[in-house]
Every structure is written in structure tokens, then in C-alpha cells.
Amino acid sequence: MFDYLVVGAGFAGSVLAERLANQLDKKVLIIDRRNHIGGNAYDHYNNDGVLVHKYGPHIFHTNSSDVFEYLSLFTEWRHYEHRVLASVDGQLVPIPINLNTINKLYGLNLSAFQLEEFLASVAEPRDKILTSEDVVVSKVGRELYEKFFRNYTRKQWGIDPSELDRSVTARVPTRINRDDRYFTDTYQAMPLYGFTRMFENMLNHPNIKIMLNTDYREIQKVISYKEMIYTGPVDEFFDYRFGKLPYRSLAFKHETHERPTFQPAPVVNYPNEHPYTRVTEFKYLTGQEHAKTSIVYEFPKAEGDPYYPIPCPENAEIYKKYKALVDATPEVHFVGRLATYKYYNMDQVVAQALTIFKQISSKELLEVAV
Ligand code: FAD
Ligand code: UDP
């Protein structure tokens, strides 16, 4: 008899399994249809002994001291500030766009003040910033938008930035200084021994049983449990009653090269000229020293494992219908990127799971009091 059946062993499921077992002494079965824990953050040593991220680059960053302190219970960290170059007009230049990007791209020597004036002169002011096109064009104008954002976004999402919520391209800021970090969060670090080791530590508790290679529907009827935590796609849970919620997928092409370094930056983005969006070289992220180096190409596609909820008004309407079903199903807690259809980073999923845990434990306390 389990207290909780946790569906999905990614961040959402693992945080809740850990908290429920550790803090409330609950008996938990955590189950995943994949053959590993960690969800999309899973990493492993490949055949050449290089630590790689199976589902594309995962870089941890957060402003939340609660999230960072919580995860620090299960891992030590390697300080890591992520940097990305974009391949534009035959050059590799920093993205997010900053002072060095513009100077290199156009062979200029502008100061920060002059860049501000330049951007103001090319920006297309918009009354309302609604879409991912508005965000960029209103800051850097059409030419830079076309060079850095338009094609990348069309490739990644299968729709034009003018049809995507502003939140998508708003993830990438514009800077007038020379700061070339991809993120500016207070905490930026990689788990010292990798994500999978961190998940192993989270789930290493006598009250937690792990079942892999199993869809929850295969065992749901033969296992007894009181409540469910569900972290898979929300539309699938309700048998696509309101139609499929669109998710964007990726094909990953992993390669290992017989040389210590492949490219001059951890990630190189290819907005325009290739079917892939970016190439990641893992050793920069992990700090591993190795005579060989492993990289991954990301090819966006519509079908396949659901990786990205697509934030746009039509999908928000469909999700709203599923959310009404979620609200009418109180015995199941829907948590994580797929179950709440939110384009969340890892830290946001951890924060969401910790919030759900607080709700569960206060409800429990109330019941005990009554
Ligand atoms: P998932 O990790 O997707 O876990 C859900 C699990 O549920 C899966 O393992 C799945 O197999 C399992 N499951 C689903 N349905 C069932 C079922 N019916 N039965 C059994 N098991 C089931 N975030 C960052 O913070 N930084 C990054 O750099 C970053 N890079 C990313 C790069 C890519 C290419 C992608 C796709 C995501 C990236 N993210 C990044 C986001 C990050 O992956 C997610 O925020 C986080 O992993 C979501 O955790 P989750 O537990 O909600 O979902
Ligand atoms: N983006 C872009 N060009 C870039 C980098 C990002 O157009 O060089 C847009 C694109 O729409 C992308 C979004 O900004 O999907 C968010 O980028 P981020 O790097 O945060 O994507 P993720 O790591 O989540 O795939």
C-alpha cells in the first residue's frame, strides 16, 4: 500500500517524492516510462566516457535561494556561467545581443551610450508588446530581429514569432554593456557530479520505490495508493478529450570527436543557415577533462517526445479547458512543465513542486488537527 503514486521521475516528480518521504514519512512509488530517472535533465557517461545530456543542454540557474538551498541538500556544485555565440553573417558573435555583438557585426566601435542611440534609431516602437516579434523589434529593430530571432524562432517553434506569446523571446534580453553571460541569475551552477547523481541522492530513501520502463496506466489498477502526483502531459491524462495540446519536439544528434575541443563556446546558435538551432559542447558545461569531446545538435520537429509547450493564445484556450478538468480532479496533483503546460525552467519546476508540497503538508496538518 503506497500513500502516493508519483508519475514521472523528472524534477517535478522527484522533488515531491523526496519531500513526501522525507518530511511526511509517506510511502511513495515513483514510476517513469523511460528507462532512467531525471526526466529531461538526465545525463550519463557515453561510450567514450564523456558526460552528456541525453535531452539537450541543461544549465541550472535561479534567483531563488530556497530552490538553490533545497537542491544543495543533494549535490555539490560547480560554479558555471553560461555563454553563447550566434553564427550570423559568417561571424560568431555574442547572444544575447550586447555592445560587442553590434560592434563586431557591423565593424563599429560604439560606446554603450552610442549603442543606446543606435538601438533607439532602429527600434520600431509598439503600443502594446504582445508577441515575440513585438518584444524584439521594439528593442532592436527589424534587421537585428531578422538576423538573430525570426528564423531561429520559426525553426524552433514551427510558427512565426508574431504568433507566439511575448514571453518566449523575452527570455533573451538585449544589453548595451559587454556582459556576454546568457543568464544573470544570482545562482548559476552545475551539479558537480551531474544531474542524474543528484536525482539518485534525492530518491535514495527507504520509503521511495522506483519503477522504470513502465507507463502508470500499466500498473495503476494493480497497485493501491491514496493520491497521485502526475507530471506527464495533461492532455494525455484526460485522453485528449479536448484535442491534442501542441508540444514542440526535438531530434538530438549526438557526436563525439577525436579532439579535445570542437567549438569556441559552450553553445553556438545557428539562427539562419541550418536545419538545427544550436550545437552544444558538453565539456564546457560539466568541466570534465577528456581527450575527446562530445556535442549535440538540436533539430526541432512537431512530432515526438513532448519537450516544449507552445505559448500562444490558441493553446492557452485549449489548456484552459484541461485546467477545468484538473480542478475537478483533486485526488491528483498536476505538477511540472508538461502537466501544467508551462514553458518552465528547472528551477521554476522545483519551486512549483515545493509549493505543492507545502499545500499537501498544510492540508495534512489541518486534517490531523480536526
Ligand atoms: P520532465 O523532465 O519532462 O519529466 C516528466 C517525466 O514523466 C518524464 O521522464 C516522462 O517519461 C514521465 N512520464 C510522462 N508520462 C508518463 C506516464 N504516462 N507514465 C510514466 N511516466 C511518464 N531548464 C533549465 O532550467 N535550464 C536549461 O538549460 C534547460 N534546457 C533545456 C533544454 C531542452 C532541450 C529542454 C527540452 C528543456 C530544457 N530545460 C531547461 C527545461 C527542463 O528540462 C524542465 O524544466 C524540467 O526538466 C521539467 O521537469 P518535469 O519534471 O516537469 O518534466
Ligand atoms: N531565440 C532566438 N535566437 C537565439 C536564441 C533564442 O530567436 O539565438 C528565441 C527562440 O524563439 C527561442 C527563445 O528565444 O526558442 C528562447 O531561447 P532559449 O535559449 O531560452 O531557449 P531554450 O534554451 O529554452 O530552448
pLDDT digits (tens, 9 = 90+) for 91-120: 999 999 999 999 999 999 999 999 999 999
pLDDT of residue 366: 87
* Interatomic CA distance for residues 225 and 364, integer angstroms: 16
Protein residue with its CA nearest to atom 46 in ligand 1: 346
Q: Is ipTM > 0.95 here?
A: yes
Q: Which of 54, 58, 8 is nearest to 28 (CA)?
A: 8
The CA–CA distances, whole Å, from 282 to 16, 249, 297 equal: 29, 21, 11
* Per-residue pLDDT tens over the stretch 268-291: 999 998 999 999 999 999 999 999
What's the pLDDT band for 364 if we cut at 50, 70, 90?
confident
Which ligand lies nearest to the CA atom of residue 5 in the structure? Answer: 1
Find out whether 22 and 360 touch, Cβ atoms under 8 Å: no
- Burial pattern 118-143, b for ≥16 Cβ within 10 A else e, equals bbeeebeeeeeeebbbbbbbbbbbee
Does residue 124 surpass a pLDDT of 90? Answer: yes
Question: Candidates 231, 247, 342: which one to mutate for ligand 1, based on the most atoms within 8 Å of Cβ?
Answer: 231
Q: Tell me if 36 sits within 8 A of 324, measured CB to CB.
A: no
> Which residue has its alpha carbon closest to ligand 2 atom 13?
169
Rounded Cα distance between 97 and 301, Å, is 26
Beta strand 247-257 with 308-309 is antiparallel
**pLDDT for 300-317, tens place per residue?**
999 999 999 999 999 999
Query: What is the per-residue pLDDT for 121?
Result: 98
| pLDDT tier for residue 15 given thresholds of 50, 70 and 90 | very high
Distances 197 to 117, 194, 204, 329 between C-alpha atoms, Å: 49, 6, 10, 34
Q: Which domains does the chain have, with CATH numbers?
A: 2-80+188-245+309-369 (3.40.50.720), 96-169 (no CATH)
**Contact assessment for residue 90 and residue 202, using Cβ atoms and an 8 Å cutoff:** no
Q: Which three cell numbers stand for residue 173?
A: 534580453
Find the 189 Cα to ligand 2 centroid distance in Å. Answer: 20
CA distances from 259 to 44, 184, 205, 280, 293 (A): 20, 31, 41, 15, 6
Ligand 2 geometric centre to CA of 132 (Å): 11
What is the value of pTM for the model shown?
A: 0.98
What is the C-alpha to C-alpha distance for residues 332 and 58, in angstroms, rounded to an integer?
28
- DSSP string across 309-369: E--SHHHHHHHHHHHHHHHT-TTEEE-STTTTT----HHHHHHHHHHHHHHHHHHHHHHHH
**pLDDT (tens digit, 9 = 90+) per residue, 335-349?**
999 999 999 999 999
Residue 33: which pLDDT band, with cuts at 50, 70 and 90? very high
Q: How far is the CA of 55 from the centre of ligand 2 (A)?
A: 16
User: Rounded to an integer, what distance in angstroms lies between the CA atom of residue 314 and that of residue 307?
Assistant: 18
d(CA 292, CA 220): 45
Does the pLDDT value for residue 138 go beyond 90?
yes
Amino acid at 31: I
Q: Residues near ligand 1 with C-beta < 6 Å?
A: 7-13, 31-34, 39-41, 55-59, 215-216, 231-232, 250, 307, 336-338, 344-347, 349
pLDDT above 90: residue 265: yes
